[in-house]
Copies of this chain bind each other. A is one copy, B any other.
């Protein structure tokens, strides 16, 4: 899993039906911006654990959900680069 920081919510009104109305977050993986499905309820600035690969689907709630990156936990304490 990756350690990412939540940057901001992402709005994409025009989306495939399979994505439903789940919240999407822009997360920073180092300096790269990725999009993750928020299965937790995060706030910008949170340090989170993101799961990828096929496990992202289950983590988002169902084997059919089309996610390849899902936020599965908020890290209690994290200091960048420490």
Binary B-proximity of A3-46 (CB < 8 A = 1, otherwise 0): 10000001111111011000010100000011110011000000
Report the Cα distance A21→B19, complex, angstroms: 23
Dominant secondary structure of chain A at its interface with chain B:
mixed
Given contacts A12-B74, A24-B49, 18 further A-B contacts (CB under 8 A): A3-B26, A3-B33, A3-B34, A10-B49, A10-B75, A11-B75, A11-B76, A14-B40, A15-B40, A15-B49, A15-B73, A15-B74, A51-B66, A53-B68, A54-B68, A56-B68, A58-B65, A58-B66
Identify the A interface with B (CB < 8 A): 1-3, 10-16, 18-19, 24, 26, 33-36, 39-40, 49, 51-59, 64-70, 72-77
